[in-house]
Amino acid sequence: MISERDSETTFDEDSQPNDEVMPYSDDETEDELETQPAVEPEQNRINREVEVTRETLRKDCSWQVKANDRIFYELPQFKKTKFLCLKKSIYSGNAIKTYKYNPITFLPLNLFEQFKRAANFYFLILLILQSIPQITTLAWYTTLIPLLLVLGITAVKDLVDDIIRHRMDNEINNRTCDVIKDGRFRSTKWKEIKVGDVIRLGKNAFVPADILLLSSSEPNSLCYVETAELDGETNLKFKMSLEVTDQYLQEERALADFDGLVECEEPNNRLDKFTGTLKWKGRSYALDADKILLRGCKIRNTDACHGLVIFAGADTKIMKNSGKTRFKRTKIDSLMNYMVYTIFVLLILVSSGLAIGHTYWEQQIGNISWYLYDGLDYTPSYRGFLNFWGYIIVLNTMVPISLYVSVEVIRLGQSYFINWDLQMYYPEKDTAAKARTTTLNEQLGQIHYIFTDKTGTLTQNIMAFKKCCINGQTFGECRDKTGELRNRPEQVDFSWNMYADGKLTFHDQYLIEQIRSGNEPEIQRFFFLLALCHTVMVDASDGDLNYQAASPDEEALVTAARNFGFAFLSRTQNTITISEMGIVRTYDVLAILDFNSDRKRMSIIIRDPNGKIQLYCKGADTVIYERLHPRNPKRQATQEALDIFASETLRTLCLSYKDISNEEYEAWNKKFMAASVAVRNRDEALDKVYEEIEKNLILLGATAIEDKLQDGVPETISKLAKADIKIWVLTGDKKETAENIGYSCELLTDETKIYYGEDVSALLQTRLENQRNRTGSTLNSSQRTNEPFLQRGRKHALIITGSWLNEILLEKKKRKKKLLKLKFPRTPEEKQKHLQSKRKLEANKEQQQQNFVDFACECSSVICCRVTPKQKAMVVDLVKRYKKAITLAIGDGANDVNMIKTAHIGVGISGQEGMQAVMSSDYSFGQFRYLQRLLLVHGRWSYIRMCKFLRYFFYKNFAFTLVHFWYSFFNGFSAQTAYEDWFITLYNVLYSSLPVLLVGLLDQDVSDKLSLRFPSLYLSGQKDLLFNYKKFCISLIHGVITSLIIFFIPYGAYLQTMGQDGEAPSDYQSFAVTTASSLIFAVNFQMGLDTSYWTFVNAFSIFGSIALYFGIMFDLHSAGIHVLFPSAFPFTETEINAMLKPYSWSKLSLSLSTCTLPPVVIDYLLHSAPTSMTIWPSESDKIQKNRKKYKAEEEQWKRRPSVFQ
């Protein structure tokens, strides 16, 4: 008897997860089915069917396209209300618009977007406050100029981007093609094409809209297209028109008279699916994706083709897929925002305190001092209120306006460094590393977990036929013609085969002998199936056979059949031609049962020249074995061979066939044709019909294809592991294959203890029971058992299949069933009980998932096999959610896109499976081994540079701004500034911006070689050691101390001082200039002290900034400019008078030495002293001290002679 507690943790106790079975596809329902009523009332059934039919018709067939009839689309039912009584057609025009602005809207829209950012809006408010005379003590330009600079830089960037979009849109919209108008084909611009137009396209032309292929110049109206702009794949795909349109719609007159009506699905973003029906001449014809040419495709190897426009412009599938990508933010971004909020709160508190101080000063001194009377009879409280806003203005530089722009400049520079890195260039495919985003660079230095696909990511995805099992006998070993094993491999001679390409490496002479002798008909049937059952296209224009396949696996199998004497030569709509041991035969193709992720198999039904009908099927071993005839004597022998192939990390497929009688085929074909034109649920109907014919199969054997590891994969994984980065492999391959790949790439070793799904399930069940006993029957996710699952001191690994993953995570799903769900009224008590039960299940599920993540993260490596794309994303999301760790996902195929988008950082590999992963990624390159350089070099450097930039940026702004705070105690808290207005304006723009920007771009603690040699340097980023609230507080304290020194040393020096000429040099203007000069020297020299990697550019920026300050100040303080603008430039000759006196330079020297000497001593003791004297040396400090030694070792290794010479 199952207790209530047990029932909470399992959905289906009777079914144990099957390691060999892939979970249901991601298109299945997420919901568990409720218990269905035993009897459905008849009226309920009728009403439901009518409602479902109406809803389906409305959804699936609401899009109607009438050929050559533009008036048809003006009917009222095809109009929608746009605004008030204005109506617009539901059919989009073909002109596309990707730009955001036009000359009229650019300025207002761009400003509106920029002022939506909190920092920009804050400074706009400050600018408004500065225009109020009663509260401002700063000139308006001190805020306006920096704000205009920030807005201008961003606006120019947006303008350049939008101009590029305008040019691209115009280029595309003004392309031309032939469209039937007034009964003739006429050249027409793309933007003038409408839905329902019949168009003609030539060779190498781009498809202007989503069109239904009507006919082409190729036999049977085949059309070859390249889909590189859709999915990045350069291999050709073929499309085929309906037989009826191919027969009747070849001539211009016939195309002009064509009046067919297409009823199909509404515009959507599913590139691989299309459901519709063509009604013409009183008959209906089924339409699917194989008859649709999508916008963005390119016509290849086809002289001309004709099509009917179904979707245009914004309704096309490529445009529907161009939605916004999920915006990713870095951890430092979030922390930086919180720190800006902290500064803003600090600003308000300081301003409030100073305003209170002014109120008190007015009451005690201001009101009784007649010489301070300003003619305004304001109360002290009101003056304090005005001064609060005055100090908000004066101290506004605590919130740095240029921070975000500077961060973006640094990130852009780091992205270019990644793009320019020749050591991440893959010459074999002419593929360079590419940073596809500029916002995540520093996060590359903080990765905790890497989730990687296997095929094409860890492996090469270049398939080679290695072995096979035919009729229970395994072939592929090194054997001679008699079948005896040989020690020395000898390449098979394929010279007897005129179609052999000479590229296949095979050493089993016995298989060739069996094929040529014809003694084993099953062997010939095996390779005949490989040459027949596929979707490969062939191009024989150059006298040679060039295969174009949708996947490397399929191309490898067809090429193998070609080399073994069964060459695929050509195909038409209804036939396929094959050379069988030199004899060319053509077979009628009666039906092709397509492969998809649910079926995991493909079948073809043919009629041979003798009239015999046969079905040939290839697919995953699990699905083929389920459909075999009970009497298959070679079943066990083939299974043993499959296990051996998997242990050798080979990819496997099973092959089978069956004979079909004419009567059985005719009966099945009627169902097939009906399902093909079904209005609703066509895919489900076809799957059901396919299942009827794909049963009682006869097993032929299995193929084994090799997919080798990429170069440098084990070394890369080893280095990343030393950097404390954990690698999880998420793949759809079999458990044995995935496990052996784990050993090959050194994720697993002989010392590793491996846990499987059943082990984990038992451990988690025990842990869950213990947690329940401790916390009571109601689970609380915050109360957890923190004991580790695994013993420390030994390597552990987890290998789990998708079925076990769903079982453990309580994500087990069932196929969607079209059953009635009757909803009877519930009492309040039943509703409450149901709600409590649901909450209990959710809490239980959350606790189980958290326990699984805790267990998996204690393992040194995790391999998830037989997982779907959605499960890959789910695993990534679980680690993000429960571990709060920074994740990176890397893959090369479309099945990795979901995982790549879910992770904090997505990396795409330009592989054999197209460019879908690359186009969805944040970074891309050609090989997995480049990941170590991306993380350990570029990622770590970016993190170090950004952290140093932020620490220094906050420091220099605090040092600059807080001088006003100390000055307030000596000016009656009157909000008077301690500097000249122009100095305040240009400080962050010119005087201190360049050195910190260059440190953020160029600084490095150790070289790239040492970064790769010592992966442990990466740990500082993972632990957030270089930028956190502690570092922020240190920058704040450092800035406070610097501001104290900069203010009080000149103040004390000027206090009651007499110059050599008998005049007092202690006027306000001289004090302001001396303080400003001290600040410029202090912050720029401090930047120099913090610089680890000196270049000429760094030195020039520091000393150049100081020189620039003096040059500008001398100009702004000149008498000439004062005469022209006396109110804007009141400091006349102040800089010259102050700086020409030796006394001023002594104050500058004292301020500078006092500011810089303590940090130098502290840094020396903590980091730079000899090892015996250093208090807390970091790993980087130790390596820097020994860098000469490491460099000498590298030189010695280079000079060491090779053992192969």
Q: How far apart are CA 942 and CA 920, in angstroms?
A: 22
Q: How far apart are CA 429 and CA 431, in angstroms?
A: 5
- Rounded to the nearest 5 degrees, what angle is found at the Cα of 729, between the Cα atoms of 725 and 734? 160
* Residue 1058 dihedral angles phi and psi, to the nearest 5°: -120, 135
Whether 162 sits among the annotated catalytic residues: the reply is: no
Neighbouring-strand partners of residue 951: none
Determine the 3-state secondary structure of 366 from DSSP. Answer: helix
DSSP state of 89: E
Q: Are 944 and 926 in contact (CB under 8 A)?
A: no
Q: How far apart are CA 825 and CA 629, in angstroms?
A: 49
What tokens appear for 112 in the block?
């509106």
DSSP state of 467: E
The closest alpha carbon to 130, from 149, 143, 114, 118, belongs to 143
Q: Are 619 and 653 in contact (CB under 8 A)?
A: yes
CA 989 to chain centre: 35
Determine the 3-state secondary structure of 431 from DSSP. Answer: strand
Tokens 């294959």 -> residue: 737
In sequence order, the 6+-apart residues with CB closer than 8 A to the CB of 933 are 421, 423, 424, 1008, 1012
* Choice among 19, 453, 981, 1024 that is catalytic: 453
**Torsion over CA of 60, 62, 63 and 67, rounded to 10 degrees?**
120
Neighbouring-strand partners of residue 601: 619
What tokens appear for 1142 in the block?
């030796």
Q: Are 515 and 565 in contact (CB under 8 A)?
A: yes
* Residue 810 dihedral angles phi and psi, to the nearest 5°: 60, 40
What tokens appear for 693 in the block?
């014919």
User: b/e string for 783-817 if b means 16 or more Cβ within 10 A?
Assistant: ebeeeebbeeeeebbbbbbbbbbbbbbbbbbeeee
Q: How far apart are CA 125 and CA 142, in angstroms?
A: 14
Determine the 3-state secondary structure of 380 from DSSP. Answer: helix
What tokens appear for 435 in the block?
């940073």
DSSP state of 1167: I
In sequence order, the 6+-apart residues with CB closer than 8 A to the CB of 908 are 890, 891, 892, 896, 900, 915, 917, 918, 919, 920, 921, 923, 924
In sequence order, the 6+-apart residues with CB closer than 8 A to the CB of 724 are 448, 1016, 1018, 1019, 1022
Q: How far apart are CA 514 and CA 954, in angstroms?
A: 79
Enzyme catalytic residues: 453
